Structure 1
């Protein structure tokens, strides 16, 4: 039981508690309650209209046995791996070039490379469609000019090419943001270290591999972690590029798109909630793994 002294303290500081109460009420209503309710839905069969029926872990088993869910896992891993690899690699290369060869106007470069992130995903998808549409697309026009005959290849309907196109869209949108992270990390490295290495006759590649890269590990880990967390929850780019259809034979259906389709198209909220907890488990697992790796690298540095 709460002691009388505690109650007296609450009465004495009533104005303070009243001033912070709205924050906790909003946090409870829009954070704690949705999480708890989604956990309950994951154990229930509910279409959003009738009363929920408790089914235990059946929704989790249904998801694992669904071929579309299995394909969504593969698509998500594919898009995450290649988009992270090229985005982080290209961002690192651009950051090094800007840091080494641009003395004035770095703010201009930051602005230019961040502009794609300010473009709405729907607009970015329209731009990409202008290049790769089957009828009148710029890429097909160039191919037709090279071949001497018109080309009507349907890039967006191809199971082989649609994934690279989604990856290209992700790279275009997010490379600038990761470049800013690396550029901040590079500018935090003392210049005296580089000058001492040059006086010792150390080459550029040795300076990069033995000085720059080890000192850039915190920025590199942060960049990879954020790219991975975004990749595991990828939704915008494949959704808008395929107009919500997931490509031919679900070739670009990600876990986020599968969750959206089951919950808000098929109205199977129980299955959708179960999928959301699978995504949550993957995000938490990778976060813990990256934290352990970061601590190990930090301890060995």
Structure 2
């Protein structure tokens, strides 16, 4: 009886189900199937041409034992930490200054600081190379003028300096985006609170630390989460700056670059899928951690 009534309901509402069927078919084809297939590939050895062979957890253990993968983890953490620190810190400082001292033309400042996002990563890397190239770079010209002799230091090939250059590129591209978030948060704070604090003779630093920061914590938390999710999956900036080579001795190879090189250059799709699940676990782990921290801090 239940199955009969179910089929009767389906026939009665077939026009409705037919109208929503394309969405579920697309969702199944481009969301559910790729996830399920990547999980299957993580347990298989497949080069994209021959038949996959089941290897169990061998790809996961092989990734953990690969020195390049271990270095990619460290590089990702390094680039994520410093790029997030400088991007969020600089964006917060700029937002506070603009909100405090710029009375008109704030839309202009938003536009100017968002312009780097419109620049393709490849073009941004070329611009950075103009400054830091070893032969005729503007930075080397400045260093040579200071020390009194020409400088031909290869910043891009340096294991020490290539990471800060990637961080610089990330900060340049994304500071404006985070600044807009902070500006929106600052402008949502009632001005009456500031006026009352000034009438009581509260100092600027006390107003910032005891009023602005606590009320801006939801925006700061959101900004840190977004910067972290982007940092864990960082690919564009180090890839284009090192022209896909990962720097000298893989000094800027991130997890995203390692995954790309493994799957689409070495055609080891099983190992690439295993790395993607490690990356997925890191993103999920941080998301859950951020939710716990936000709840304890009382941030909605």
**Do these two structures clear the TM 0.5 threshold for a shared fold by scoring above it?**
yes
Per-residue Cα deviation, 1:200-242 (whole angstroms, up to 9, x for no partner):
1100000000000000110000000000000000000000000
Please, which runs of 5 or more residues in structure 2 have no aligned partner? Answer: none
CA distance in 2, matches of 1:5, 1:203: 72
SS of the aligned residue for 1:156 comes to coil
- The residue aligned with 1:94 is 94
Counterpart of 1:48 in 2: which secondary structure? coil
Residues 127-162 of structure 1: CA deviation (Å, up to 9, x unaligned): 000000011111111111222211110000000000
Match of 2:165 in 1: 165
State how far apart, in whole Å, the 1-side matches of 2:194 and 2:200 are. 10
Once the two structures are TM-superposed, the CA of residue 55 in structure 1 deviates from its matched residue by 0.4
Alignment partner, residue 194 of structure 2 = 194
Say which is worse superposed, 74-83 or 143-152, in terms of deviation.
143-152
- The whole-number CA distance in structure 1 between the counterparts of 2:107 and 2:13 is 48
Please identify runs of 4+ aligned residues in structure 1 that moved more than 3 A.
none
Alpha-carbon distance in 2 for matches of 1:116, 1:202: 38
| Aligned-partner Cα distance in 2 for 1:207–1:176 | 24
Alignment correspondent of 2:184:
184
3-state SS in 1 of match to 2:298 = helix
CA shift for structure 1 position 3: 2.3
- Alpha-carbon displacement from aligned partner over 1:71-110 (angstroms, at most 9, x marks no partner): 0000000000000000000000000001011111111000
Is it true that 1:234 corresponds to 2:234 in the alignment? yes
Measured after TM superposition, the shift of residue 196 of structure 1 is 0.6
- 1:241-274 CA deviation, whole Å, 9 max, x = no partner? 0000000000000000000000001000000000
TM-score (norm 1): 0.98
Question: For the residues of structure 2 that align with 1:272 and 1:71, how far apart are their CA atoms?
Answer: 16
Q: Give the CA RMSD over aligned residues.
A: 1.1
Structure 1 partner of 2:129: 129
- Alpha-carbon distance in 1 for matches of 2:211, 2:168: 31
Deviation of 1:2 after TM superposition, in Å, equals 5.5
2:81 is equivalent to residue 63 of structure 1? no
For 1:52 and 1:199, the matched residues in 2 are separated by 73
Structure 2: distance between partners of 1:174 and 1:159 = 24
TM-score (norm 2): 0.98
Shift of 1:4: 1.8
Count, aligned residues: 300
Aligned equivalents of 1:68, 1:157: Cα separation in 2: 18
Determine the C-alpha separation between the residues in 2 that align with 1:118 and 1:102: 24
